[in-house]
Amino acid sequence: MRYFDHNATTRVDPEVIEVMIPFLQTHWGNPSSAYRFARPVKQALQQARAQVASLIRAQPEEILFTGCGTESINTALHLGAMVGRGQRHAIVTLVEHEANLRYAAYLESQGWEITRLGVDGQGLLDPQAVKDAIREDTAMVSVMWANNETGVLLPIHDIAMCCRDRGILFHTDAVQAIGKIPVHVDEVPVDLLSLSAHKMNAPKGVGALYIRKGTPFAPFLYGGGQEAGRRAGTQNMAGIVGLGKAAELASVRLSQKNQVGALRDHLEQGMLRSIPNLKVNGHPTLRLPNTSNVCFGGIEAEALLHQLDRLEVAASSGSACSSGSLEPSHVLTAMGLSPRQALSSIRFSLGIETCQEEVDYLLQHLPEQVRRLRGYSPLNQ
């Protein structure tokens, strides 16, 4: 399988698996237990917290482990809703992940007012739009660091500064940015930041929420006193240890030069050279180095993905299946693409393991597949 879907999930790094196994086989105690058998488990929990904190330059006690990126985002928005002093207005963007948009819609159903900011044709958000949308009753702002479909980076630093000045809680969904670009909370004054392990070569089913010291908190899950009373439920120790190791590996990789950006550019330029009527969706440079979202005019993305699957190439489109029909990506339509253009777009996302041969294989087969589909696509009739 030539895997070009690293924004969907990543393979667990062998070094991550290695550190996880003892926490399934030997050190299977409960980290909350007081006896000696549980001591290495408790120590591993502390170490993982320090490793994740170090990646984003936070303090270990500012890291809360969760069950996934979605839970981190829901926890952040829930917290914003609970600790507000009667304010019931929130600002998000139209290009957020469903984990954000659906929780915002839930708040709306509870009487909140939600402002959903749009982006321009390149997927960029004007920070002035956030400033202009802030009202007396704004309780929180939540804007993602990098978009999962296009890789476009949002102006988190400017928004964070503005929210800090106005005393408004600011959350960022950094699930896609973490491990791909430097994300440092000592430089960008966010209050809350969500991340997910399975996007950074660690296992699925574990995430973290960074909560800046001094931020008021309201739990999302009630029960035991784990995570300093902030998230009930016995911790997924193997997953957390894996996330800690992945964070450590990501810190090292980010300090070294890697080939992901060069391979993505090689893929994109190769596609632009060999396939007519092709357009890259998203800003050319203000983008994650691993993501390329392209619109293949005149074909259905699903048909091309099917052909690629037969050639053992995995990629994806941002369209969602809803009640039997295909809905165009909300991110691409927010950027002004027509539903037809959005349904003709595919995301290729590379990872640290992607190699030149895989990119060359894709470039060798893609033009022919596109030409054949264009020959008999109903979109061309």
Which residues of the chain form contacts with ligand PLP (CB under 6 A)?
Answer: 68-70, 73, 97, 99, 144, 148, 173, 175-176, 196, 198, 207
Question: Smaller CB distance to ligand PLP: residue 331 or 366?
Answer: 331
The catalytically annotated residue of 68, 163, 321, 355 is: 321
Question: Smaller CB distance to ligand PLP: residue 115 or 349?
Answer: 349
How far apart are CB 239 and ligand PLP at their closest, in Å? Answer: 11
How far apart are CB 290 and ligand PLP at their closest, in Å? Answer: 13
Question: Smaller CB distance to ligand PLP: residue 67 or 298?
Answer: 67
How far apart are CB 217 and ligand PLP at their closest, in Å? Answer: 21
Q: Which of 229, 228, 226 is nearest to 237 (CA)?
A: 226
For 92-161, give the secondary structure using H, E and C. Answer: EECCCCHHHHHHHHHHHHCCCEEEEECCCCCCCCCHHHHHHHCCCCEEEEECCCECCCCCEECCHHHHHH
Active site residue 321: yes
**Residue 72: Cβ-neighbour burial (10 angstroms; 0-12, 13-18, 19+):** buried
The per-residue DSSP string of 244-269 comes to HHHHHHHHHHHHS--SHHHHHHHHHH
How far apart are CB 220 and ligand PLP at their closest, in Å? Answer: 14
Question: Smaller CB distance to ligand PLP: residue 174 or 366?
Answer: 174
How far apart are CB 176 and ligand PLP at their closest, in Å? Answer: 5
Residue pair 81/112 in contact by the 8 Å Cβ criterion: yes
Q: Which of 318, 339, 324, 325 is nearest to 98 (CA)?
A: 318
Residue nearest to ligand PLP (CB): 69
Please list the residues that pair with 142 across neighbouring strands: 171
Question: Smaller CB distance to ligand PLP: residue 148 or 354?
Answer: 148
How far apart are CB 351 and ligand PLP at their closest, in Å? Answer: 14
Question: Smaller CB distance to ligand PLP: residue 192 or 370?
Answer: 192
Note the helical H segments in the chain. Answer: 14-20, 22-25, 39-56, 69-83, 98-109, 127-133, 156-166, 226-229, 237-255, 260-274, 301-310, 330-334, 339-342, 356-375
What is the C-alpha radius of gyration for the chain, rounded to an integer number of angstroms? 21
Catalytic residues: 321
